[in-house]
Amino acid sequence: MSYQTLLPTLHSPEDLKKLSETELPLLAEEIRAELIKTLSQTGGHLGPNLGVVELTIALHRVFNTPEDKFLFDVSHQGYVHKMLTGRADRLQTIRQHGGLNGFLLPSESEHDCYGAGHAGTSLSAGLGIAAARDQQGGKEHVVVVAGDAAFTCGTSYEALNNVAATTKRFIVILNDNKWSIAKNTGAIAQHFNRITTSPAYAHLHEQAAKFVEWIGGKKARDLAHKIETGVKQILLPGVIFDNLGLRYYGPIDGHDTALLIRTFEFLKTQQEPVILHILTEKGKGYAPALAKPDKFHGLGKYQPDTGETDLSTSPTYSEIIGKTLSSFAEADPSMVAITAAMPTGTGLISFAQEHPQRFYDVGIAEEHAALFAAGMATQGMKPFLVIYSTFMQRAFDMIVHDIALQNLNVKLCMDRAGLSGDDGPTHHGLFDIAYLRGIPNILHMQPKDEEEFVDMLWTMTHYHQGPIAIRYPRGAGTGAIPKKTPTLLSIGQSEIVREGKEIALFGLGNFCSVALEVASLLAEQGIGAAVINPRWIKPLDTKTIQEFAQKVKLMVTLEDHALANGFGTTVAEHLSDAHITTPLLRIGWPDHFIEHGSVSILRKKYGLTAEAIVERILAFKGIFP
């Protein structure tokens, strides 16, 4: 194929409109080739973007951003949109510090009308934009692109319930690729699958082809209605969308650019809310992504020719929890594992393979997952709810009202706690200490390494007095090898890793290793620093804190969490309550949303390296000459 003949000429959506329709398939090939080549160096959401190439081209061909508004659910599939709106020459910077964000960002471009990074937000936000347009007498179109995974989110149905009563002009595109991050699960996914696998589907395609030939006038409307009615009668008796007040069209081929263009031209004339069901392939045009859609949903660097990724020699925390819980469950039939559309990302795929009857993937429905776990706990089961820290936020009410208030034995496991690097502010897990520490009955801990991680999981399985939570970082740890027989930890008891008489460094979790580096650098200057591994965020080891506060010149807390209401705040509150005046220096992330970039770059920028921390200690209020 001819590579890079059209894409470099596109600096705005207006340039796309100047191309002939026969050139659009070539443009789609160029975009796919550029995605495959560039993301092999940067990492990113390859599969989802390969699946929406024709869709995005057709959208920009028919509609006019920034006047018209596009909302992509999650927006991880917005790379093609970025390329068609003047950012193709910066694609190689995506997810790199100072470069393009991996999600849509209004501050990045006027063509991004709404920022997102979590699923299930687009319909509600889009409906709000449409309502504002109606209030202001605007004429622009609002187009929401939502994968079928968005329809496992409760917020999507809350929005659908309000569409017909809110606006008459609203376009929803159901991008049906049968996947969210993992394979879609549940009745809604099966509902869509029944449409696409019906023997009547071939007939529907034939009718859709006739439909686009008849665009214009009463005949087009009659035929469109006939197709829609036929779909309902043959395939979808009592179709859910019609009952909610949206006119349903489709399903149609989401990779047929000409068909998409004609259909969008028709839909933009409608004076009623509409939903267009399109069928796409996640990873289209790239064999490795088609073979492993979950792996290529979002990944790091890979070999573009083969799709092979660099394998770490050390297992990640996610891999460890899956294998560890699976091992524990062999002797404990009450253990179950629950996740929200991320069996691979959370590592629970190992548990699912070994204990399929005790594994539950509820789709992207964190609120339901938490309530579901609560229900199981009332019956004596031990549910391990494994969800990324940033997504556990969505279940906050259920954690308070249903799990903690009833003091249920639910095990909350928060993956990606701390900085999530190049995924950016929507995915950083910097707030879970803050949102959990004020809730009664919940215990909360963080391991310093992989060995202690397994000990903590073992402790969680044996804790029966209420909810217990663990936070752990993305990727691999220090390389510590867990013992064959894990150890039960004493509740609320920290570990003294290194002795010292002048400074006490409380390094929480993965920042314990940073504290050790700081202690070594201070020792070179003749300053003795103790290093304490707190282990427990709640209950706090107040005895050890007070012992060190009474003998050192300075207390320092280090954490991979926002400083506001974090671990250091907990220590400060205790020192104040105990009337202890020993100075405290809190080290953590500042009180604003941290941008995307590698962990090493961001730690250096925000003064969270060992060298920068030493400078702050030495300059602290003149304690050290």
- Measure Cα distances from 403 to 325, 438, 470, 625 in Å: 21, 14, 15, 51
pLDDT (mean) for 274-296: 82
What are 431's two structure tokens? 């707030």
38 and 46 in contact (C-beta within 8 Å)?
no
Contacts for 436 with CB less than 8 Å, ≥ 6 apart: 399, 412, 442, 444, 469, 538
Domains within the chain, CATH numbers bracketed = 7-291 (3.40.50.970), 321-471 (3.40.50.970), 495-618 (3.40.50.920)
pLDDT for residue 177: 83
What are 620's two structure tokens? 């602290």
409 and 441 in contact (C-beta within 8 Å)?
no
Question: Which of the residues 54, 228, 281, 366 is marked catalytic?
Answer: 366
Comparing C-alpha atoms, which of 304, 272, 271, 273 is closest to residue 288? 304
pLDDT (mean) for 321-338: 97
Q: How sure is the predictor about 623, in pLDDT bands with cuts at 50, 70 and 90? A: confident
pLDDT for residue 297: 65
Active site residue 448: no
Q: In which residue are the tokens 């082809």 written?
A: 209
Q: How sure is the predictor about 204, in pLDDT bands with cuts at 50, 70 and 90? A: very low
pLDDT (mean) for 70-84: 94
Categorise residue 490: left if φ over 0, alpha if ψ from -120 to 50, beta otherwise. beta
Give the span between the Cα atoms of 169 and 273, in whole angstroms: 5
Distance of CA 39 to the CA centre of its chain: 18
Q: In which residue are the tokens 């060992």 written?
A: 610
Q: What's at 106, amino acid-wise?
A: P
- Burial of residue 542, with CB atoms counted within 10 A of its CB: 0-12 exposed, 13-18 middle, 19 or more buried: middle
Active site residue 394: yes
DSSP E strands in 404-502: the ranges are: 411-415, 443-445, 468-471, 495-498
Q: How sure is the predictor about 2, in pLDDT bands with cuts at 50, 70 and 90? A: very low
Q: Is the pLDDT of residue 282 over 80?
A: yes
pTM, whole model, 2 decimals? 0.87
488 and 514 in contact (C-beta within 8 Å)?
no
Q: Is the pLDDT of residue 293 over 80?
A: no
Give the span between the Cα atoms of 120 and 363, in whole angstroms: 11
Active site residue 272: no
pLDDT for residue 312: 59
Least confident residue range of 106-110, 176-180, 252-256, 407-411: 176-180
pLDDT (mean) for 560-569: 98
Rg (CA), the chain: 27
Q: In which residue are the tokens 């929401």 written?
A: 144
199 and 179 in contact (C-beta within 8 Å)?
no
What are 499's two structure tokens? 């002795």
pLDDT (mean) for 491-520: 98
Least confident residue range of 242-256, 386-400, 587-601: 242-256
Question: Which of the residues 69, 262, 358, 394 is marked catalytic?
Answer: 394
| Helix-helix angle 24-42:53-62, to 10 degrees | 130
Give the whole-number percent of the chain exceeding pLDDT 90: 76
Transcribe 305-364 into DSSP letters: TT--BPPPSSPBHHHHHHHHHHHHHTS-TTEEEEESS-TTTTSTHHHHHH-GGGEEE--S
Give the span between the Cα atoms of 463 and 478, in whole angstroms: 27
Question: Which of the residues 32, 133, 262, 282 is marked catalytic?
Answer: 282
pLDDT for residue 308: 79
Give the span between the Cα atoms of 70 and 63, in whole angstroms: 9
